Structure 1
């Protein structure tokens, strides 16, 4: 009898874990022939799986990556999996404003189209600083993509209708922004949450500013994904998280589905500024929909990256 109870408990636990990891897949098979897609951090994780999926649809896919060796290997793999040779990489370090500006100058010289920009790259909860003395999370996750998007916005408008998809996280709800200390870098988890909230505000303000100009913006929570973010931590933490991620987190391919959905689906066309997860719109906390805060963050970000 004890053995039977053990088996039943194990089966129930397995089914619960299976249910927790269930996610929708993007079933839209729309082609992207003739379209150009730029994905930051497209050499691994969600970014790489997104690159494969969009390349399979015929898009010209460019991945922005700071590690050239990893980028080369990723491009080779993406080409093999997608059967699309129109995949390439460009060096980009989102922790360095000069690198971002040089990347954009080079991109605009070489590429005549930009149909879809996917702000995918991100830093986890780490206490570190960018080359420009911004906290790593806020500097990469928000400011780096803010500058990148703004410098490429002209090309996005020229190629309209175009889309900007920025990856965020539902952890945004655990923090609010402090405009007296946007560069907060004290408690790693809170720093990360603030950067993800900034992604939400950025998407909303970008949608407002580009309304009627053919550029749509979407914020995506991909779910909790079995990606390589733990490489920034100790070996013991990586081992622990490997077990936890195996049990509760979803594979990268599944995590990419909502990003792919927002990139190709016609059903999101009227939802610019929206927040999506599991291939459908999701509700934001009321404080995360404050247009006044979104505008204030935009203006502060312009000053910080010396764009104004």
Structure 2
């Protein structure tokens, strides 16, 4: 439950009998999300690319939760074929209570996905859109299941370059990161509207981790070197996991957005978070949805909300 003081890992109720998929679960915030869910009795499908990294992460979790039910879910969001393969594996599970879209990349040099998309938009948004869409039938078969999409406080200054979505003409890596995080916010906003219009029991919920010191900032150069000092003022990875855990297991509203409640939403216990007006623009959300279907070739089959 969420107390007046806010939501933390201690607020997560018993999750015995439940199954969750956590993307990017081998390190950082994803590892901490998986750890808490496992400690509370859930079966956790840890989605990541490398089995050796999964094994190391699982061993880490089992040091404190030896009875953890953990499984490797091979997933590389750089390749939509891998996303389809992962979804096919999850389809074999008896049920799925939550998909926590945590994995992402941040401000790399210009790079492209296997399908040729700009990496940050391709991984952070299109990969998340594709996996969420493919798993909706499995989620819908489990009453009260949730899709959690991770955005960022960076979305507030984001804008989508509709006429250069694939960075064919210009590339500013920080701007493209902000754009991908705005896309995440628009995604869960539009998904919520369409799910509710369809009468689905699946909840679409958003979150952001604040500012946490993790490997996500490995392309930040000299700023990353100051991380151990700056990190004293920011969230740890474990604290950065609180909003996602809140979104996945706590008392939430459909389409709600959760993040740290401390100064400028950079750190602290999880509570209701602020969104930009652009993150709730119905026309932009509809346009992004249709573009995402076209780019991925994956249609969730949810009609536009009326």
Confirm or deny a common fold (TM above 0.5): yes
Secondary structure of the structure 1 residue equivalent to 2:103: coil
The equivalent residue for 1:295 is: 286
- Residue of 251, 254, 263 corresponding to 1:272: 254
How many Å separate the matches in 2 of 1:167 and 1:152?
Answer: 17
State whether residues 79 and 87 of structure 1, in contact with CA within 8 Å, keep that contact through their aligned partners in structure 2: no
TM-score, structure 2 normalization:
0.87
The equivalent residue for 1:191 is: 176
- Residue of 48, 55, 69 corresponding to 2:31: 48
State whether residues 257 and 272 of structure 2, in contact with CA within 8 Å, keep that contact through their aligned partners in structure 1: yes
Q: Deviations over 1:162-212 (max 9, x none)?
A: 011111101101122122122236000000000000000000111111113
Say which structure is richer in helix: 1
State whether residues 23 and 254 of structure 1, in contact with CA within 8 Å, keep that contact through their aligned partners in structure 2: no
State whether residues 32 and 238 of structure 2, in contact with CA within 8 Å, keep that contact through their aligned partners in structure 1: yes
- What does 1:1-308 align with in structure 2 at a 5 Å threshold? 25-109=8-92, 111-126=93-108, 127-184=110-167, 186-211=171-196, 212-232=199-219, 236=222, 238-244=224-230, 246-265=231-250, 267-268=251-252, 271-278=253-260, 279-308=270-299
Distance 1:292 1:87, change over 3 A: same
Give the paired residue count: 281
Distance 1:113 1:194, change over 3 A: same
Secondary structure of the structure 2 residue equivalent to 1:218: strand
State whether residues 95 and 142 of structure 2, in contact with CA within 8 Å, keep that contact through their aligned partners in structure 1: yes
How many Å separate the matches in 1 of 2:55 and 2:9?
Answer: 28
TM-score, structure 1 normalization:
0.86
Shift of 1:26: 4.4
Larger CA Rg, structure 1 vs 2: 1
Secondary structure of the structure 1 residue equivalent to 2:164: coil
In structure 2, list runs of 5 or more residues that go unmatched. Answer: 261-269, 300-306
How many Å separate the matches in 2 of 1:97 and 1:27?
Answer: 36
State whether residues 223 and 255 of structure 1, in contact with CA within 8 Å, keep that contact through their aligned partners in structure 2: yes
Instruction: Name the Cα RMSD after superposition.
Output: 1.8
